[in-house]
Amino acid sequence: MSTRQYPTSVDVVIVGSGPTGSAYARILSERAPEATIAMLEVGPTVSNPPGAHVKNIADPVERARAQVASEGPGERGEKVASPGAAKAGVRGARPGTFLLEEGYAFEGEDGLPVVAMSSNVGGMAAHWTGACPRPNDSERIAFVPDLDELLDEADRLLGVTTNAFDSAPFGAIVRERLSAAVDEGRVDATKVQRMPLAAHRRDDGRLVWSGSDVVLGEVTRENPRFALFDETLAVRVLVEGGRASGVVARDLRSGDEHTIAARFVVVAADALRTPQLLWASGVRPEALGRYLNDQAQVVFASRLRNMPLLDTHDPTAGLAEYSGVSWVPFTDDMPFHGQIMQLDASPIPLADDDPVVPGSIVGLGLFCAKDLRADDRVAFDAEHVDGYGMPAPRIHYRLTDHDREVVERARQEIVRLAEAVGDPVGDRPFTLPLGSSLHYQGSTRMGVADDGTSVCDIDSEVWGVPDLFVAGNGVIPTATACNPTLTSVALAVRGARKIAAVLAREQVATKSASA
Ligand code: FAD
């Protein structure tokens, strides 16, 4: 039986401990150190410090245990280790994630067969690849005036670097070959380059991947007014007099429910479960769950030509130790985001008499931007519940004819890129089942007016429900093809600053009233 003490009242409740919820905790710890903060996370703590990336766990048995503990309630389906390992028709989740058991596709629609979530302290960012590219062209949110400064801040919070793989011996060669095929006519920002990654090298050379632990940082961990409650489900956001006033939290260890009053509530519970919690709380703006968009993904592999056999270092040291991670940015003309990285650290045998130079097979992935449609949505009803007893997400999702054309163009482009870097492995690229990107956006989108096409304003505050903020990829209003976490953390920074500013103003007012 749990003996945990939940606070009865705090300044800010944050639901979800992924990188966007953690960004709120960090900015508030820095800018409003007087504020009391309770972070609620439905999943368990699986790493140390809490929220750390499981790839940093050296022991493979411990790592596997952390992954399984992140995979939520219900059936554990088949696992696929890398996106390229998924075969058509196989509903496999990536380690550390779990799929919707039902309601992922409906008759006559494409659905999102492998839409996935993670339930653990740190959210999906305990399992992610850490690619943190900036949005370009129409991916950018034109109405956010300080977007670049917010992205800089997101880089800081996520610990983004571009030099983690500078010692990878094949990286420069891959980029040189891609550049020759792609760069003509592009501005510097959209030329082939090293992928910005939420990762850094320790002094001893070991690679450390950023998770929510890095976003939280020491300042949050040492903040005596911050507390994280794992295995705690936010069941409902309370709304009183039209304003958010707290949450009802269920301690999953004891089953007890607690009411936590709060001046502000931030829901950062992923692109399916943020709308779920709002819906369950009776907060149902017209755009809630709508404009859902995933990035259709095409993958292929290529064998680098004429590579020297290296006196290799330890191939277990990491996935991309040979060729790093390279980036072909999105442009409006080429509406795909390209990620090129080593496929496997160990040589893949092609034929007995054809030895493969270790690290010389690279995987290419192109993510496609989707047409935005209000009908693409995650919906809820009173009848279906998920493994936590919350309203179950039901996905309605269709690719448009234009979306299919973009995927077809991506298939052609990926063959061109594979031929530019080496000799394609296999005769044709593979289009992954929808939902594979793990980048779901739009379901709580930001907008400039409360006109039924958005859920929140530019500060992520929900229209019509003051003091309720939403965070995560669902807030991104544009159709991005690039990995979205940097952008959603940037948007979270703006919301957190707004809350910090209000709390600071109120504190001054209280002090001067009592003086
Ligand atoms: P999440 O990280 O999903 O965290 C949400 C948290 O909320 C979860 O822990 C969940 O348990 C909790 N929660 C939900 N409902 C409740 C509730 N009612 N009460 C309490 N808690 C609740 N993105 C990139 O940008 N680049 C990449 O290279 C990349 N690679 C990826 C590779 C993999 C294998 C995976 C799994 C993901 C990848 N992603 C990548 C996606 C990235 O991890 C997510 O975009 C990011 O974690 C989203 O952050 P978030 O804070 O919005 O949500």
- Within 6 Å (CB) of ligand 1, which residues are found? 15-21, 40-43, 94, 96-97, 118-120, 123-125, 127-131, 233-234, 268-270, 273, 277, 438-439, 472-473, 483-485, 488
Confidence band (pLDDT; 50, 70, 90) for 344?
A: low
Residue among 71, 120, 128 to mutate when testing ligand 1 (max atoms within 8 A of CB): 128
Strand intervals (E) in 70-178: 98-99, 116-117
Is 279:381 a contact under the CB 8 Å cutoff? no
Q: How far is CA 141 from CA 144, 145, 151, 238, 490, in A?
A: 6, 9, 12, 31, 11
Model confidence at 307: pLDDT above 90? no
Q: For the chain, count helices (H), then strands (E).
A: 8, 19
The DSSP bridge partners found for residue 462 are 456
Report which of 69, 72, 64 is spatially closest to residue 116, judged by C-alpha positions: 72
The tokens for 215 are: 């976003």
Nearest atom within ligand 1 for CA of residue 130: 28
In a domain, 170, yes or no: no
Give the number of domains in the chain: 1
Cβ atoms of residues 101 and 74 within 8 Å: yes
pLDDT band at 305 (very low <50, low <70, confident <90, very high): confident
Cα atoms in the Cβ-side hemisphere of radius 13 Å centred on 259? 5
Q: pLDDT value at position 321?
A: 66
- β-partners of residue 394 are 379
CB–CB of 232/42 below 8 Å? yes
Q: Could you tell me if residue 451 is inside a domain? A: yes
Q: Which of 25-34, 87-96, 131-140 has the lowest mean pLDDT?
A: 87-96
Residue 346: pLDDT above 60?
no
The predicted pLDDT at position 166 comes to 85
Spatial contact of 444 and 130, defined as CB atoms under 8 Å apart: no
Name the closest-CA residue to atom 8, ligand 1.
Answer: 123
Q: 117 C-alpha vs ligand 1 centroid, how far in Å? A: 7
Confidence of residue 314 (pLDDT cuts 50, 70, 90): very low
Instruction: Establish if 30 belongs to a structural domain.
Output: yes
The residue that leads in pLDDT, 312 or 327, is: 327
Whether 237 is in a domain gets the answer yes
Determine what percent of the chain is predicted with pLDDT higher than 70: 91
Mean pLDDT along residues 365-378:
97
What spacing in Å lies between the alpha carbon of 182 and ligand 1's midpoint? 32
Return the exposure string of 271-282: e unless at least 16 CB atoms fall within 10 Å of the residue's CB, then b: bbbbbbbbbbbe
The chain-wide mean pLDDT, for the chain, equals 92
Give residue 50 CA to ligand 1 midpoint distance, Å: 15
Statement: residue 301 has pLDDT above 60: yes
Give me the mean pLDDT over the 474-491 stretch.
98
> Is 292 a domain residue?
no
Nearest CA to ligand 1 atom 51: 18
Tokens of 35: 């504020």
pLDDT of residue 316: 40
Measured in angstroms, how far is the CA atom of residue 438 from the centroid of ligand 1? 9
In the chain, what is the straight-line distance between the N-terminal and C-terminal CA atoms, in Å?
Answer: 45
Assigned domain for 56 exists: yes
Closest CA to ligand 1's atom 40: 128
Amino acid 426: pLDDT? 87
* Packed helices 147-158 and 19-31: angle between N→C axes, nearest 10 degrees: 100
* Environment class of 222 (CB within 10 Å of its CB; exposed 0-12, middle 13-18, buried 19+): exposed
Q: Is the pLDDT of residue 8 over 60?
A: yes
186 compared with 77, residue with greater pLDDT = 186
Ligand 1, atom 26: nearest CA belongs to which residue? 131
The closest-lying atom of ligand 1 relative to the alpha carbon of residue 19 is 51
Looking at residue 475, its amino acid is V
Give the residue with greater pLDDT, 310 vs 377: 377
- Is residue 3 in some structural domain? yes
The alpha carbon of 127 and the centre of ligand 1 are apart by a number of angstroms equal to: 9
Please report the sign of the dihedral spanned by the C-alpha atoms of residue 227, residue 228, residue 229, residue 235: positive
Q: From ligand 1's centre to the CA of 416, what distance in Å?
A: 32
- For position 311, what pLDDT does the model report? 57
Which structural domain range is residue 40 located in? Answer: 1-77+122-159+211-287+441-515
Q: Which residues are catalytic?
A: 439
| pLDDT, tens digit (0-9, with 9 covering 90-100), for 139-152 | 999 999 999 999 99
Q: What spacing in Å lies between the alpha carbon of 219 and ligand 1's midpoint?
A: 22
Residue 318 has pLDDT above 50, yes or no: no
187-233 pLDDT, tens per residue? 999 999 999 999 999 888 888 999 999 999 999 999 999 999 999 99
Rounded mean pLDDT, 472-500: 98
List, in order, residues 6 or more apart from 7 with CB less than 8 Å away.
36, 38, 227, 260
- Amino acid identity, residue 459? D
pLDDT higher than 60, residue 10: yes
Q: Can you give the pTM of this predicted structure?
A: 0.95
Which ligand 1 atom is the nearest neighbour of the CA of 388?
18
CATH of the domain at 464: 3.50.50.60
Q: pLDDT tens across 417-457, in order?
A: 999 999 999 889 999 999 999 999 999 999 999 999 999 99
* E-strand stretches of 132-285: 193-194, 199-201, 207-209, 226-229, 232-240, 243-251, 257-267
Which residue puts its alpha carbon closest to atom 38 of ligand 1?
128
Nearest to 395 by CA among 246, 242, 293, 256: 293
| Residue 226, domain member (yes or no) | yes
Phi, psi of 160 (to 5 degrees): -80, 135
- Among 15-19, 43-47, 240-244, 310-314, which is the least confidently predicted range? 310-314
**Stretch 455-483: mean pLDDT, rounded?**
98
Distance from the alpha carbon of residue 257 to the mean position of ligand 1, in angstroms: 25
Q: For 506, how many CA atoms within 13 A lie in the half-sphere containing its CB?
A: 12
Residue range 301-319: average pLDDT? 64
